[in-house]
Amino acid sequence: MTDPTQDHRDAPEGAGATAYPQERPGPLSGTVVIDLTRALAGPHAGMMMADLGARVIKVETPGTGDDTRSWGPPFVPGSDGADVATYFLSCNRNKESVALDLKSDDGRAVLTELVRRADVLIENFRPGTLDRLGFAPDHLAELNPRLVVLSISGFGHDGPEGGRAGYDQIAQGEAGLMSLTGSGPDDPQRVGVPIGDLLSGMYGAYGVLAALLERERTGRGQVVRTSLLASIVGVHAFQGTRWTVAHEVPAAQGNHHPSIAPYGLFHCADGAVQVACGNESLWRRLCTEFDLDPEAEGMRTNGERVANRQRVIEVLEEAFADLPGEELLARLAAAGVPSGRVRTLQEVYEWDQTRSQGLLVDVDHPTLGPVQLPGPPLRFFAPDGTETTPTEHASPPLLDEHGPAVRAWLQEG
């Protein structure tokens, strides 16, 4: 990574620019990332790096900006009368924004200078688009041999369908995830968040960090590629090997695990709880607590219980039928059986445990004022136990909020 002590990393504020902490603490402090992405996969990767202290300069289309600035409702009215999309706020904290028309001479000239100073460039155009704009990988390497480029596509950059547009809903279906999700084989469902986009961002950031580490040995950057298809296939986990090794075709089966029983959602007097018996000891504890026979026919081993899953569900729901959820959870906890409730997002963000983990951050938005955002999922500690996690965060930027500052920085040479 670039030496954070170099003076040219510190951008002065341009006329009318909003003050922004150009050097932020974190493992990636001093690293400059040019974020050409829009929507979610690329912006999420950029935000992950920004959370780690990188200076992330988001390049947006003049006038409209990132697509997600218009995705809503919900929108929240700002003090300037403009609506702010909460979708955009979810994936762009800790970034700067500069508006560039990459089809214009000026836009390409500014991007060229940014590339010369950057450590990382991330893009999620359709394969070939960046080449047509004049920034093919070989030209980027000429401008900056140390540059690490992250390219995220829908279905891969090559292959018979490499040019397809990438949208999360489509990828969830094409990559098999929807066939595993839902109440049953005839009820395919998408995951409740754009998980293909999010996974692509996570895998992309992971690949960038590996390439930066290798650059320390070789002195040269490289291109990292991933896709929505690759990222979803990459998390098939045991469902994937059910097919590749055992030649079973997995199908959706609701809220119960295909290989472990009991492991899923069970109804009780006033709702439902989740129970996870991942080994025989836990199964026996559960049976002892609720006066059930762990050696009953068809229930002695996990394999038998999986084969007789519906009977296991019926037995447990009969035992839970008269118990309110809170009482049931208390008994399960006392017996040492892993269990939990199904919380709404409001309950999650109001939960003391969530807050204790730094999963909510306070930022001061230029037009919304103080707002809370979901926070980074990583924490860092020194060997003596002192927490070193960065706690100061910048709000997602207004469109071109940092354009004057970025241009002034480039002009300093």
Residue 265 is classified by DSSP as E
> DSSP characters for 205-251?
HHHHHHHHHHHHHHS---EEEEEHHHHHHTT-HHHHHHHHTT-----
Cβ–Cβ under 8 Å, residues 109 and 115: no
Beta strands per DSSP E along 74-173:
75-77, 83-85, 95-99, 120-123, 148-153
User: Distance (Å, rounded) from C-alpha 246 to C-alpha 217?
Assistant: 41
Q: Which domains does the chain have, with CATH numbers?
A: 7-235+357-411 (3.40.50.10540), 263-343 (3.30.1540.10)
pLDDT tens, position by position, 22-64: 678 899 999 999 999 999 999 999 999 999 999 999 999 999 9
What mean pLDDT is predicted for residues 89-110? 97
* Mean pLDDT to the nearest integer, 10-14: 36
Under the banding of pLDDT at 50, 70 and 90, the label for residue 342 is very high
Report the C-alpha gap between 80 and 323 in whole angstroms: 53
Cα-flanking dihedrals φ and ψ of residue 374, to 5°?
-60, 140
**Residue 197 is a catalytic residue:** yes
35, 66, 197, 400: the active-site residue: 197
The rounded distance, in Å, linking the Cα atoms of 43 and 324 is 43
The H-or-E segment that residue 116 falls in is helix 105-117
CA atoms within 13 A on the CB side of 283: 21
Give the residue from 349, 319, 343 showing the smallest Cα distance to 331.
319
Average pLDDT score, the chain: 93
More confident residue, 18 or 392: 392
Here the tokens at position 318 are 């009969």
End-to-end C-alpha distance for the chain, whole angstroms: 20
Structure tokens at 352: 């003391």
